A and B are shown apart, each in its own frame.
Chain A
Protein backbone atom coordinates (compact mmCIF):
# COMPACT_ATOMS: atom_id res chain seq x y z
CA UNK A 1 0.00 0.00 0.00
CA UNK A 2 1.42 3.38 -1.04
CA UNK A 3 1.00 6.17 1.46
CA UNK A 4 2.54 8.71 -0.93
CA UNK A 5 1.98 9.21 -4.64
CA UNK A 6 4.88 8.76 -7.09
CA UNK A 7 4.80 12.47 -7.75
CA UNK A 8 5.16 13.26 -4.05
CA UNK A 9 8.02 10.77 -3.71
CA UNK A 10 9.80 12.36 -6.69
CA UNK A 11 9.32 15.78 -5.14
CA UNK A 12 10.75 14.57 -1.85
CA UNK A 13 13.75 13.07 -3.66
CA UNK A 14 14.39 16.38 -5.43
CA UNK A 15 14.06 18.30 -2.19
CA UNK A 16 16.47 15.89 -0.51
CA UNK A 17 19.05 16.44 -3.24
CA UNK A 18 18.78 20.21 -3.06
CA UNK A 19 21.48 21.91 -1.06
CA UNK A 20 20.56 23.36 2.30
CA UNK A 21 21.49 27.03 2.28
CA UNK A 22 20.68 27.50 5.98
CA UNK A 23 23.30 29.64 7.63
CA UNK A 24 23.96 31.59 4.46
CA UNK A 25 22.29 34.76 3.29
CA UNK A 26 20.86 32.98 0.27
CA UNK A 27 17.43 31.39 -0.23
CA UNK A 28 17.18 28.70 -2.88
CA UNK A 29 14.68 29.21 -5.68
CA UNK A 30 15.42 26.57 -8.34
CA UNK A 31 18.11 24.63 -10.12
CA UNK A 32 18.97 26.26 -13.46
CA UNK A 33 21.84 24.19 -14.81
CA UNK A 34 24.02 21.19 -14.13
CA UNK A 35 27.62 20.58 -15.07
CA UNK A 36 30.38 18.05 -14.51
CA UNK A 37 31.52 19.63 -11.27
CA UNK A 38 28.29 20.89 -9.76
CA UNK A 39 24.97 22.56 -10.31
CA UNK A 40 23.95 26.16 -10.66
CA UNK A 41 20.93 27.35 -8.71
CA UNK A 42 18.89 30.49 -8.82
CA UNK A 43 18.72 31.97 -5.33
CA UNK A 44 17.77 35.16 -3.60
CA UNK A 45 20.28 37.17 -1.62
CA UNK A 46 18.21 37.93 1.50
CA UNK A 47 20.52 40.74 2.61
CA UNK A 48 20.52 42.70 -0.60
CA UNK A 49 17.18 41.48 -1.94
CA UNK A 50 18.47 40.50 -5.35
CA UNK A 51 18.60 37.32 -7.37
CA UNK A 52 21.94 35.55 -7.71
CA UNK A 53 23.23 32.37 -9.27
CA UNK A 54 24.97 29.93 -6.93
CA UNK A 55 27.29 27.22 -8.14
CA UNK A 56 27.44 24.34 -5.66
CA UNK A 57 29.24 21.00 -5.75
CA UNK A 58 26.73 18.19 -6.26
CA UNK A 59 28.11 16.14 -3.37
CA UNK A 60 30.46 16.89 -0.45
CA UNK A 61 33.95 16.31 -1.84
CA UNK A 62 35.86 13.94 0.41
CA UNK A 63 39.09 14.13 -1.63
CA UNK A 64 38.99 17.92 -1.69
CA UNK A 65 40.00 18.08 -5.35
CA UNK A 66 36.64 19.20 -6.72
CA UNK A 67 36.18 21.66 -3.85
CA UNK A 68 39.61 23.12 -4.58
CA UNK A 69 38.73 23.39 -8.26
CA UNK A 70 35.47 25.20 -7.52
CA UNK A 71 37.23 27.56 -5.10
CA UNK A 72 39.88 28.15 -7.72
CA UNK A 73 37.19 28.97 -10.29
CA UNK A 74 35.70 31.47 -7.84
CA UNK A 75 39.16 33.03 -7.28
CA UNK A 76 39.74 33.29 -11.02
CA UNK A 77 36.35 34.90 -11.62
CA UNK A 78 36.82 37.29 -8.71
CA UNK A 79 40.17 38.43 -10.04
CA UNK A 80 38.88 38.98 -13.57
CA UNK A 81 36.89 42.17 -13.24
CA UNK A 82 35.63 42.85 -16.73
CA UNK A 83 32.20 43.62 -18.27
CA UNK A 84 32.44 40.35 -20.19
CA UNK A 85 32.99 38.17 -17.13
CA UNK A 86 30.30 37.42 -14.58
CA UNK A 87 31.17 39.00 -11.19
CA UNK A 88 31.44 36.85 -8.05
CA UNK A 89 29.49 38.09 -5.00
CA UNK A 90 30.74 35.64 -2.42
CA UNK A 91 32.00 32.13 -1.68
CA UNK A 92 31.82 29.68 1.20
CA UNK A 93 31.04 26.19 2.45
CA UNK A 94 27.57 24.84 3.26
CA UNK A 95 26.73 23.00 6.50
CA UNK A 96 27.00 19.66 4.66
CA UNK A 97 30.54 20.48 3.51
CA UNK A 98 29.72 21.43 -0.04
CA UNK A 99 31.68 24.35 -1.43
CA UNK A 100 29.79 27.08 -3.28
CA UNK A 101 30.17 30.51 -4.76
CA UNK A 102 27.54 33.12 -5.61
CA UNK A 103 27.68 35.20 -8.75
CA UNK A 104 25.54 37.59 -10.73
CA UNK A 105 22.45 35.94 -12.16
CA UNK A 106 22.65 36.49 -15.90
CA UNK A 107 19.28 36.67 -17.59
CA UNK A 108 19.78 35.93 -21.22
CA UNK A 109 20.41 33.25 -23.77
CA UNK A 110 23.29 31.01 -24.62
CA UNK A 111 25.07 32.09 -27.80
CA UNK A 112 24.16 28.89 -29.65
CA UNK A 113 20.45 29.55 -29.07
CA UNK A 114 20.69 33.31 -29.54
CA UNK A 115 22.49 32.93 -32.87
CA UNK A 116 19.71 30.75 -34.28
CA UNK A 117 17.54 33.82 -34.57
CA UNK A 118 20.26 36.45 -34.30
CA UNK A 119 20.06 39.38 -36.55
CA UNK A 120 22.60 40.11 -39.18
CA UNK A 121 26.12 38.97 -39.88
CA UNK A 122 27.60 42.28 -38.60
CA UNK A 123 25.51 41.85 -35.43
CA UNK A 124 26.95 38.40 -34.81
CA UNK A 125 30.46 39.64 -35.58
CA UNK A 126 30.11 42.46 -33.04
CA UNK A 127 29.19 39.86 -30.41
CA UNK A 128 32.25 37.88 -31.45
CA UNK A 129 34.43 40.97 -31.04
CA UNK A 130 33.18 41.32 -27.46
CA UNK A 131 34.11 37.69 -26.78
CA UNK A 132 37.60 38.34 -28.17
CA UNK A 133 37.96 41.42 -25.93
CA UNK A 134 37.02 39.41 -22.85
CA UNK A 135 39.33 36.52 -23.67
CA UNK A 136 42.16 38.95 -24.46
CA UNK A 137 41.64 40.56 -21.05
CA UNK A 138 41.78 37.17 -19.30
CA UNK A 139 44.99 36.34 -21.16
CA UNK A 140 46.62 39.55 -19.96
CA UNK A 141 45.71 38.44 -16.42
CA UNK A 142 47.36 35.08 -17.02
CA UNK A 143 44.19 33.01 -17.41
CA UNK A 144 43.45 30.55 -20.20
CA UNK A 145 39.77 29.56 -20.48
CA UNK A 146 40.27 26.19 -22.25
CA UNK A 147 36.58 25.53 -22.85
CA UNK A 148 35.35 28.34 -25.08
CA UNK A 149 32.27 27.33 -27.05
CA UNK A 150 28.87 28.90 -27.87
CA UNK A 151 27.26 27.06 -24.94
CA UNK A 152 29.61 28.91 -22.57
CA UNK A 153 28.76 32.38 -23.88
CA UNK A 154 25.71 34.22 -22.56
CA UNK A 155 24.05 37.11 -24.34
CA UNK A 156 21.91 39.44 -22.27
CA UNK A 157 18.81 41.40 -23.30
CA UNK A 158 20.72 44.71 -23.13
CA UNK A 159 23.59 43.65 -25.36
CA UNK A 160 25.65 42.02 -22.64
CA UNK A 161 28.05 39.31 -23.77
CA UNK A 162 29.47 37.19 -20.95
CA UNK A 163 32.04 34.43 -21.10
CA UNK A 164 30.96 31.78 -18.58
CA UNK A 165 32.24 28.56 -17.03
CA UNK A 166 35.86 29.10 -16.11
CA UNK A 167 35.93 25.72 -14.31
CA UNK A 168 38.75 24.26 -16.40
CA UNK A 169 40.71 27.50 -16.78
CA UNK A 170 44.49 27.29 -16.67
CA UNK A 171 46.76 29.78 -14.95
CA UNK A 172 49.58 30.66 -17.29
CA UNK A 173 53.19 30.89 -16.13
CA UNK A 174 54.25 34.54 -15.82
CA UNK A 175 56.57 34.34 -18.82
CA UNK A 176 53.67 33.30 -21.10
CA UNK A 177 51.36 36.17 -20.19
CA UNK A 178 50.53 38.37 -23.16
CA UNK A 179 50.88 42.11 -22.82
CA UNK A 180 48.38 44.58 -24.24
CA UNK A 181 49.82 46.99 -26.80
CA UNK A 182 51.71 49.78 -25.10
CA UNK A 183 51.87 48.15 -21.65
CA UNK A 184 55.25 46.96 -20.37
CA UNK A 185 55.44 43.25 -19.52
CA UNK A 186 56.52 43.95 -15.92
CA UNK A 187 53.46 46.11 -15.37
CA UNK A 188 51.18 43.26 -16.42
CA UNK A 189 53.03 40.69 -14.31
CA UNK A 190 52.87 42.90 -11.26
CA UNK A 191 49.21 43.80 -11.66
CA UNK A 192 47.21 42.73 -8.57
CA UNK A 193 44.76 40.83 -10.75
CA UNK A 194 47.42 38.80 -12.51
CA UNK A 195 46.93 35.29 -11.18
CA UNK A 196 50.23 33.88 -12.34
CA UNK A 197 51.92 35.84 -9.56
CA UNK A 198 50.02 33.99 -6.86
CA UNK A 199 51.01 30.33 -6.91
CA UNK A 200 48.67 29.48 -4.02
CA UNK A 201 45.69 29.96 -6.32
CA UNK A 202 47.03 27.86 -9.17
CA UNK A 203 46.43 24.51 -7.44
CA UNK A 204 45.01 22.09 -8.33
CA UNK A 205 46.76 21.74 -11.63
CA UNK A 206 45.48 19.57 -14.44
CA UNK A 207 47.74 16.58 -14.91
CA UNK A 208 49.77 16.44 -18.11
CA UNK A 209 47.93 14.16 -20.54
CA UNK A 210 44.49 15.00 -19.16
CA UNK A 211 42.07 16.17 -21.84
CA UNK A 212 39.76 19.00 -20.85
CA UNK A 213 37.60 20.87 -23.33
CA UNK A 214 34.97 20.21 -25.97
CA UNK A 215 35.61 18.34 -29.23
CA UNK A 216 35.21 20.64 -32.20
CA UNK A 217 36.24 23.66 -30.16
CA UNK A 218 39.42 22.22 -28.68
CA UNK A 219 42.83 22.98 -30.20
CA UNK A 220 44.74 19.90 -31.46
CA UNK A 221 47.46 20.36 -28.82
CA UNK A 222 44.76 20.50 -26.13
CA UNK A 223 43.10 17.36 -27.50
CA UNK A 224 46.46 15.61 -27.23
CA UNK A 225 46.55 16.45 -23.54
CA UNK A 226 49.64 18.60 -23.92
CA UNK A 227 48.64 20.59 -20.83
CA UNK A 228 52.12 21.87 -19.93
CA UNK A 229 52.64 23.63 -23.24
CA UNK A 230 49.17 25.09 -23.70
CA UNK A 231 49.13 28.83 -24.13
CA UNK A 232 46.65 31.47 -25.26
CA UNK A 233 46.74 30.18 -28.81
CA UNK A 234 44.62 27.23 -27.63
CA UNK A 235 41.86 29.71 -26.78
CA UNK A 236 42.40 31.43 -30.13
CA UNK A 237 41.68 28.10 -31.83
CA UNK A 238 38.41 27.89 -29.87
CA UNK A 239 37.57 31.47 -30.84
CA UNK A 240 38.11 30.51 -34.49
CA UNK A 241 35.69 27.61 -34.03
CA UNK A 242 33.12 29.96 -32.47
CA UNK A 243 33.57 32.37 -35.39
CA UNK A 244 33.04 29.50 -37.81
CA UNK A 245 29.88 28.52 -35.93
CA UNK A 246 28.60 32.09 -36.18
CA UNK A 247 29.29 32.70 -39.86
CA UNK A 248 29.29 29.41 -41.76
CA UNK A 249 26.08 28.96 -43.84
CA UNK A 250 25.41 25.33 -42.89
CA UNK A 251 24.83 26.49 -39.37
CA UNK A 252 23.44 29.92 -40.13
CA UNK A 253 20.90 29.64 -42.94
CA UNK A 254 21.37 30.23 -46.63
CA UNK A 255 23.59 33.27 -46.87
CA UNK A 256 27.10 32.69 -48.18
CA UNK A 257 30.05 33.39 -45.93
CA UNK A 258 32.49 36.06 -47.11
CA UNK A 259 35.88 34.57 -47.98
CA UNK A 260 37.68 36.98 -45.68
CA UNK A 261 35.74 35.64 -42.68
CA UNK A 262 36.43 32.03 -43.66
CA UNK A 263 40.12 32.94 -43.91
CA UNK A 264 40.05 34.57 -40.46
CA UNK A 265 38.45 31.45 -38.92
CA UNK A 266 40.94 29.18 -40.70
CA UNK A 267 43.91 31.23 -39.53
CA UNK A 268 42.62 31.14 -35.94
CA UNK A 269 42.08 27.35 -36.23
CA UNK A 270 45.39 26.51 -37.89
CA UNK A 271 46.74 23.17 -36.66
CA UNK A 272 50.08 24.86 -36.08
CA UNK A 273 49.74 27.22 -33.10
CA UNK A 274 52.51 29.45 -34.48
CA UNK A 275 50.43 30.15 -37.61
CA UNK A 276 47.41 31.35 -35.61
CA UNK A 277 46.77 34.92 -34.50
CA UNK A 278 49.28 35.94 -31.87
CA UNK A 279 46.55 37.15 -29.52
CA UNK A 280 42.78 37.35 -29.10
CA UNK A 281 43.07 41.14 -29.56
CA UNK A 282 44.70 40.63 -32.95
CA UNK A 283 41.85 38.32 -33.95
CA UNK A 284 39.28 40.87 -32.74
CA UNK A 285 41.06 43.61 -34.67
CA UNK A 286 40.91 41.60 -37.88
CA UNK A 287 37.14 41.28 -37.38
CA UNK A 288 36.96 45.06 -36.80
CA UNK A 289 38.85 45.63 -40.04
CA UNK A 290 36.39 43.38 -41.87
CA UNK A 291 33.44 45.29 -40.42
CA UNK A 292 35.03 48.60 -41.48
CA UNK A 293 35.47 47.34 -45.05
CA UNK A 294 39.25 47.23 -44.69
CA UNK A 295 41.60 44.42 -45.78
CA UNK A 296 42.11 41.68 -43.17
CA UNK A 297 45.44 40.10 -42.21
CA UNK A 298 44.24 36.57 -42.91
CA UNK A 299 43.17 37.14 -46.50
CA UNK A 300 45.57 38.58 -49.10
CA UNK A 301 43.42 40.10 -51.84
CA UNK A 302 44.10 40.37 -55.57
CA UNK A 303 43.46 43.65 -57.41
CA UNK A 304 39.90 42.77 -58.40
CA UNK A 305 38.92 41.74 -54.89
CA UNK A 306 40.43 44.98 -53.56
CA UNK A 307 38.40 47.01 -56.05
CA UNK A 308 35.23 45.05 -55.21
CA UNK A 309 35.75 45.64 -51.47
CA UNK A 310 36.43 49.34 -52.05
CA UNK A 311 33.33 49.65 -54.24
CA UNK A 312 31.22 47.90 -51.61
CA UNK A 313 32.57 50.18 -48.90
CA UNK A 314 31.81 53.37 -50.84
CA UNK A 315 28.79 52.05 -52.71
CA UNK A 316 26.43 54.92 -51.93
CA UNK A 317 29.05 57.61 -52.61
CA UNK A 318 29.81 55.98 -55.97
CA UNK A 319 26.10 55.87 -56.84
CA UNK A 320 25.74 59.59 -55.99
CA UNK A 321 28.77 60.62 -58.04
CA UNK A 322 27.61 58.51 -61.00
CA UNK A 323 24.15 60.07 -60.74
CA UNK A 324 25.75 63.51 -60.82
CA UNK A 325 27.83 62.59 -63.88
CA UNK A 326 24.81 61.14 -65.70
CA UNK A 327 22.72 64.25 -64.94
CA UNK A 328 25.56 66.47 -66.10
CA UNK A 329 25.97 64.50 -69.31
CA UNK A 330 22.21 64.56 -70.00
CA UNK A 331 22.07 68.31 -69.43
CA UNK A 332 25.01 68.93 -71.76
CA UNK A 333 23.40 66.75 -74.42
CA UNK A 334 20.04 68.45 -73.94
CA UNK A 335 21.58 71.93 -73.94
CA UNK A 336 23.42 71.27 -77.22
CA UNK A 337 20.28 70.16 -79.09
Chain B
Protein backbone atom coordinates (compact mmCIF):
# COMPACT_ATOMS: atom_id res chain seq x y z
CA UNK B 1 0.00 0.00 0.00
CA UNK B 2 1.47 3.38 -0.94
CA UNK B 3 2.22 5.93 1.73
CA UNK B 4 -0.61 8.34 0.93
CA UNK B 5 -3.26 5.62 0.96
CA UNK B 6 -1.70 4.19 4.10
CA UNK B 7 -1.79 7.58 5.83
CA UNK B 8 -5.38 8.18 4.66
CA UNK B 9 -6.70 4.86 5.95
CA UNK B 10 -4.75 4.91 9.22
CA UNK B 11 -5.61 8.57 9.85
CA UNK B 12 -9.30 7.82 9.21
CA UNK B 13 -9.40 4.77 11.48
CA UNK B 14 -7.57 6.51 14.32
CA UNK B 15 -9.78 9.58 13.79
CA UNK B 16 -12.93 7.49 14.22
CA UNK B 17 -11.48 5.84 17.32
CA UNK B 18 -10.33 9.16 18.74
CA UNK B 19 -13.80 10.63 18.20
CA UNK B 20 -15.55 7.64 19.80
CA UNK B 21 -13.60 8.14 23.03
CA UNK B 22 -15.81 11.21 23.58
CA UNK B 23 -18.46 8.70 24.67
CA UNK B 24 -16.61 8.40 27.99
CA UNK B 25 -17.27 12.08 28.66
CA UNK B 26 -20.98 12.28 29.62
CA UNK B 27 -21.42 15.96 28.70
CA UNK B 28 -20.01 15.30 25.20
CA UNK B 29 -22.28 12.32 24.42
CA UNK B 30 -25.10 14.37 22.83
CA UNK B 31 -22.64 15.65 20.20
CA UNK B 32 -21.00 12.27 19.70
CA UNK B 33 -21.96 11.92 16.02
CA UNK B 34 -20.61 15.38 15.16
CA UNK B 35 -17.44 14.74 17.14
CA UNK B 36 -16.82 11.40 15.37
CA UNK B 37 -17.44 12.93 11.94
CA UNK B 38 -15.18 15.90 12.66
CA UNK B 39 -12.49 13.71 14.15
CA UNK B 40 -12.64 11.33 11.17
CA UNK B 41 -12.35 14.21 8.69
CA UNK B 42 -9.42 15.60 10.70
CA UNK B 43 -7.75 12.18 10.70
CA UNK B 44 -8.25 11.71 6.95
CA UNK B 45 -6.85 15.14 6.14
CA UNK B 46 -3.89 14.75 8.49
CA UNK B 47 -3.27 11.24 7.12
CA UNK B 48 -3.10 12.50 3.53
CA UNK B 49 -0.74 15.34 4.47
CA UNK B 50 1.49 13.01 6.45
CA UNK B 51 1.40 10.46 3.61
CA UNK B 52 2.43 13.10 1.05
CA UNK B 53 5.24 14.20 3.34
CA UNK B 54 6.39 10.59 3.81
CA UNK B 55 6.41 10.16 0.04
CA UNK B 56 8.67 13.19 -0.40
CA UNK B 57 10.92 12.84 2.63
CA UNK B 58 12.32 9.47 3.59
CA UNK B 59 13.21 10.03 7.21
CA UNK B 60 11.60 8.31 10.16
CA UNK B 61 12.52 11.12 12.56
CA UNK B 62 11.22 13.89 10.28
CA UNK B 63 8.09 11.85 9.48
CA UNK B 64 7.31 11.41 13.18
CA UNK B 65 7.97 15.10 13.85
CA UNK B 66 5.80 16.19 10.93
CA UNK B 67 3.00 13.86 12.06
CA UNK B 68 3.18 15.25 15.58
CA UNK B 69 3.04 18.85 14.31
CA UNK B 70 0.12 18.20 11.95
CA UNK B 71 -1.77 16.30 14.66
CA UNK B 72 -1.20 19.09 17.19
CA UNK B 73 -2.12 21.80 14.69
CA UNK B 74 -5.41 20.20 13.65
CA UNK B 75 -6.26 19.40 17.26
CA UNK B 76 -5.52 23.02 18.17
CA UNK B 77 -8.04 24.23 15.55
CA UNK B 78 -10.71 21.94 17.01
CA UNK B 79 -9.94 23.01 20.57
CA UNK B 80 -9.85 26.64 19.53
CA UNK B 81 -13.32 26.37 17.96
CA UNK B 82 -14.60 25.10 21.30
CA UNK B 83 -12.49 27.53 23.27
CA UNK B 84 -11.71 24.88 25.95
CA UNK B 85 -10.35 21.36 26.53
CA UNK B 86 -7.04 22.25 24.84
CA UNK B 87 -5.06 19.58 26.69
CA UNK B 88 -7.76 16.90 26.35
CA UNK B 89 -7.97 17.43 22.58
CA UNK B 90 -4.41 18.35 21.64
CA UNK B 91 -2.52 15.65 23.56
CA UNK B 92 -4.31 12.66 21.97
CA UNK B 93 -4.49 14.51 18.62
CA UNK B 94 -0.74 14.99 18.62
CA UNK B 95 -0.21 11.32 19.52
CA UNK B 96 -2.47 10.21 16.67
CA UNK B 97 -0.43 12.35 14.25
CA UNK B 98 2.77 10.89 15.67
CA UNK B 99 1.50 7.32 15.17
CA UNK B 100 0.41 8.03 11.59
CA UNK B 101 3.77 9.73 10.89
CA UNK B 102 5.68 6.74 12.24
CA UNK B 103 3.55 4.13 10.51
CA UNK B 104 3.59 5.78 7.06
CA UNK B 105 7.39 6.04 7.12
CA UNK B 106 7.91 2.58 8.51
CA UNK B 107 5.27 0.49 6.80
CA UNK B 108 4.05 2.47 3.79
CA UNK B 109 5.24 1.15 0.43
CA UNK B 110 7.90 3.47 -0.94
CA UNK B 111 8.16 1.81 -4.37
CA UNK B 112 6.32 4.73 -5.98
CA UNK B 113 8.05 7.32 -3.83
CA UNK B 114 10.07 10.32 -4.89
CA UNK B 115 13.89 10.16 -4.60
CA UNK B 116 15.20 10.25 -1.03
CA UNK B 117 16.03 13.66 0.44
CA UNK B 118 17.43 12.50 3.74
A contact set with B: CB distance below 8 Å: 316-317, 320-321, 323-324, 327-328, 331-332, 335-336
Q: Is the CB of B92 within 8 A of A320?
A: no
Q: How far is the CA of A249 from the CA of B91 in the complex (A)?
A: 45
Q: How far is the CA of A331 from the CA of B25 in the complex (A)?
A: 10
Q: Is the CB of A335 within 8 A of B106?
A: no
Q: How far is the CA of A68 from the CA of B114 in the complex (A)?
A: 53
- Tell me, rounded to whole Å, the shortest Cβ–Cβ distance linking A322 to chain B: 11
Those of B78-118 within 8 Å (CB) of chain A: 87-88, 91-92, 95-96, 98-99, 102-103, 106-107
Tell which of B24, B95, B102, B103 touches A327, judged by Cβ atoms closer than 8 Å: B95
Q: Which residues of A contact B106 (CB under 8 A)?
A: 316-317
Q: Is the CB of B88 within 8 A of A335?
A: yes
Q: Is the CB of A320 within 8 A of B99?
A: yes
Q: Is the CB of A320 within 8 A of B25?
A: no
By beta carbon, the residue of chain B nearest A320 is B99
Most buried by B among A323, A327, A335: A335
Count contacts between A and B, CB distance < 8 Å. 34
From DSSP, what is the main secondary structure of chain B's interface residues? helix
Interface size class of B (residues with CB under 8 A): 10 to 19
Tell which of A320, A331, A332, A336 touches B98, judged by Cβ atoms closer than 8 Å: A320
Known contacts A320-B95, A323-B95, A335-B88; decide if A328 and B21 are in contact (CB<8 Å): yes
Q: Is the CB of A317 within 8 A of B103?
A: yes
Q: How far is the CA of A316 from the CA of B101 in the complex (A)?
A: 12
Q: How far is the CA of A320 from the CA of B103 in the complex (A)?
A: 10
Q: How far is the CA of A138 from the CA of B84 in the complex (A)?
A: 70
Q: How far is the CA of A3 from the CA of B33 in the complex (A)?
A: 107
Q: How far is the CA of A135 from the CA of B99 in the complex (A)?
A: 42
Q: Is the CB of A332 within 8 A of B25?
A: yes
Q: Which residues of B contact A323 (CB under 8 A)?
A: 95
Q: Is the CB of B102 within 8 A of A331?
A: no
Contact flags B4-38 to A (C-beta < 8 A → 1, else 0): 00000000000000100100110000000000000
